[in-house]
Amino acid sequence: MKNIIIIFVSLFLGIACQFVGRFPKEIYKTLNKIVLYFCLPALSLYFIPKIVWQNELLYPIGAAWISFALSIIFFASIGSYFRWSKKLTGCLIITGGFSNTSFLGFPIIEALYGKPGLETAILVDQPGGFVAMSTLGILVAIFYSSGSTTATLIAKKILLFPPFITFCIAVLMNVFEYDFLDNIQFGLLKVGSLVTPLALFSIGLQLSFDRKSKHFKFLTLGLVFKLILMPLFLLVLYVFILKQKGLQIEVSIMEMAMAPMITASILASAYGLKPKLCSLMIGVGIPLSFITLFFWCIILNFVK
């Protein structure tokens, strides 16, 4: 419940500061860099070394990877057909492809399924969504942020991107079963905990509702995909095609039905992929997801 309160308070504070005359409106660019270069790497170094691999974890971990792959296919195809700009296509791929599996997902999953559900949610979030965003997400952001790219330029940007560097370090720590001392872990967790308030405050600073804005039709498409089509695809794949049922499957589908991932929106915005649309995907997607999640609970109970 505390996480949900922090989400709305931080978002509304950002919106309120838009109306404070002397408040530096461009500070959101600095906040985005703090989230990407400090908070996100701290979470990677804290969580990834603790992951214990088991084959049965493939379904919850694979949910985020499958969903992002679906987002790439869906929006790249539509964008190509309607001749969208690369930045618009990239924005929708990233914001529509990643779910808010932690800051929104964790409290909701724990309330619905208890501690066993939360353990599965952590798997969906860390080796699933977080790792996918730190690798494929960065690749997509780089590719769609500029008119022309080369393999060398993309590789250079990925390899020099701080979240990717710390991700590689964290993976090596996991392989060699090494973790930081308790005091360092405490510090990493504290720095990582700033992701939600800073990111949502930044989004609030950029959020604007213009009824004549051309963004709303793309916002509608992005949220329909994120909140309805993505979890529906996973439901059909896991339950009806692969014949899988149980707590892990339910939690995986519910996590993919969450609102767009905050840090993914920050990533897309930092690369200039339609920042206003990125903010709308979060600002509208979070409250709207509480309604759609209610219906997904009913559907999952019905197919048990």
Of the segments 68-82, 106-120, 276-290, which one has the largest average pLDDT value? 68-82
Local structure of 191: helix, strand or coil: helix
Angle between helices 58-82 and 86-97 (to 10 degrees): 160
Instruction: Answer yes or no: is 161 within a domain.
Output: yes
Q: What distance in Å separates the CA atoms of residue 280 and residue 64, rounded to the nearest whole number?
A: 22
Long-range contacts of 233-237 (CB under 8 A, 24+ apart): 233/66, 233/67, 233/70, 234/63, 234/66, 234/67, 235/299, 235/300, 235/303, 237/66
* Residue at 74 is within a domain: yes
The count of other CB atoms within 10 Å of the CB of residue 18 is 13
Per-residue pLDDT reduced to its tens digit, 259-280:
999 889 988 988 899 998 998 8
Closest CA to 282 of 204, 197, 192: 204
7 is a domain residue: no
Tokens of 31: 């906040």
**Where does residue 180 fall: left (phi above 0), alpha (psi -120 to 50 degrees), or beta otherwise?**
beta
Dihedral (CA of 36, 39, 45, 47) sign: negative
Q: 45 with 166: CB under 8 angstroms?
A: yes
Q: What is residue 69's predicted lDDT score, i.e. its pLDDT?
A: 96
99-111 b/e with 16+ CB inside 10 Å = b? Answer: bbbbbbbbbbbbe
The token duo for 109 is: 């999953």
Task: Residue 160: give the domain boundaries.
Answer: 28-206+216-302
In a domain, 102, yes or no: yes
The total number of structural domains in the chain stands at 1
DSSP 8-state assignment for residue 271: T
Q: Tokens standing for 286? A: 């979070």
Q: Which amino acid is at 138?
A: I
**Rounded to whole angstroms, how far apart are CA atoms 245 and 168?**
33
> Which of 143, 150, 185, 161 shows the shortest CA–CA distance to 48?
185
Task: Answer whether residue 130 shows pLDDT above 90.
Answer: no
Place 182 in a pLDDT band, splitting at 50, 70 and 90: very high
Write the CA distances from 9 to 3, 4, 196, 201, 276, integer angstroms.
Answer: 10, 9, 11, 9, 20
Q: Is residue 9 part of a domain?
A: no
Per-residue pLDDT for 240 more than 80? yes
Q: Mean per-residue pLDDT for 72-98?
A: 96
Q: Is the pLDDT of residue 281 over 90?
A: yes
In a domain, 156, yes or no: yes
Q: How confident is the model at residue 40 (pLDDT cuts 50, 70, 90)?
A: confident
Q: What pLDDT score was predicted for residue 148?
A: 57
CATH classification at residue 282: 1.20.1530
Does any domain span residue 10?
no
pTM of the predicted model as reported, rounded to 2 decimal places: 0.82
Give the range among 30-34, 80-84, 192-196, 246-250 with minimum mean pLDDT: 192-196
28 in Cβ contact with 198 (< 8 Å): no
Distance CA 139, CA 135 (A): 6
> In this structure, is residue 179 part of a structural domain?
yes
